[in-house]
Amino acid sequence: MRQYRFMEFSTRPATLDDAPAIHQLIAAEERSWHGQVEAVPDAVAADLRRPLIKLELDTRVATAPNGDLAGWVWVHGGRHAKIDVHPSYAGLGLGTQLLDWAEARAREIGTDWLAQIVDDSDQAGTDMLRSRGYEVLATNWLLERPTAPQSPAPPGIRLDAYDPARSHEVHELIEQAFAPFQPRAKSYDEWAELTVARSTFLPQASTLAYADDQLVGAVIALDGDEGYVEQLAVQADQRNKGIARAMLDRTCAEFLRNGRTTCILWTHSGTGALAMYERLGMRVRRSTTVYRTQL
Ligand SMILES: CC(C)(COP(=O)(O)OP(=O)(O)OC[C@H]1O[C@@H](n2cnc3c(N)ncnc32)[C@H](O)[C@@H]1OP(=O)(O)O)[C@@H](O)C(=O)NCCC(=O)NCCS
Ligand 1 pocket mutation pick from 276, 278, 279, 280 by most atoms within 8 angstroms of CB: 276
Residue 221 burial class via C-beta count within 10 angstroms: exposed 0-12, middle 13-18, buried 19 and up: buried
Q: How confident is the model at residue 293 (pLDDT cuts 50, 70, 90)?
A: very high
Mean pLDDT, all residues of the chain? 95
The residue nearest atom 3 of ligand 1, judged by CA position, is 233
The closest-lying atom of ligand 1 relative to the alpha carbon of residue 231 is 48
94-127 per-residue burial string, b: 16 or more CB within 10 A, e: under 16? bbbbbbebbbebbeeeeeeebbbbbbeebeebbe
Mean pLDDT of 237-248: 96
The residue nearest atom 31 of ligand 1, judged by CA position, is 279
140 lines ligand 1 (CB under 6 A): no
| Fold classification of 10-112 (topology level) | Aminopeptidase (3.40.630)
275 lines ligand 1 (CB under 6 A): yes
270 lines ligand 1 (CB under 6 A): no
pLDDT in tens, 146-166: 998 888 899 999 999 999 999
Say if strands 113-119 and 80-85 run parallel, antiparallel, or are unpaired. Answer: parallel
Model pLDDT, residue 150: 81
Identical fold for domains 10-112 and 143-291, yes or no, is yes
pLDDT in tens, 94-145: 999 999 999 999 999 999 999 999 999 999 999 999 999 999 999 999 999 9
pLDDT in tens, 66-94: 999 999 999 999 999 999 999 999 999 99
266 lines ligand 1 (CB under 6 A): no
How much of the chain, in percent, has pLDDT values that exceed 70?
98
Mean pLDDT of 188-211: 97
Map out the domains of the chain as residue ranges. 10-112, 143-291
How far apart CA 36 and CA 29 sit, in angstroms, is: 9
178 lines ligand 1 (CB under 6 A): yes
245 lines ligand 1 (CB under 6 A): yes
Rg (CA), the chain: 20
How far apart CA 145 and CA 148 sit, in angstroms, is: 9
131 lines ligand 1 (CB under 6 A): no
How far apart CA 87 and CA 81 sit, in angstroms, is: 19
Distance of CA 10 to the CA centre of its chain: 28
How far apart CA 118 and CA 98 sit, in angstroms, is: 14
Q: Which of 58, 123, 117, 116 is nearest to 87 (CA)?
A: 123
3-state secondary structure of 59: strand
177 lines ligand 1 (CB under 6 A): yes
Give yes or no for a contact between 236 and 177, defined as CB atoms under 8 angstroms apart.
yes
- The CATH class given to the 143-291 domain equals alpha beta
153 lines ligand 1 (CB under 6 A): no
276 lines ligand 1 (CB under 6 A): yes
Contacts of 226 (CB under 8 A, 6+ apart): 38, 144, 255, 260, 261, 262, 263, 264
The closest-lying atom of ligand 1 relative to the alpha carbon of residue 248 is 12
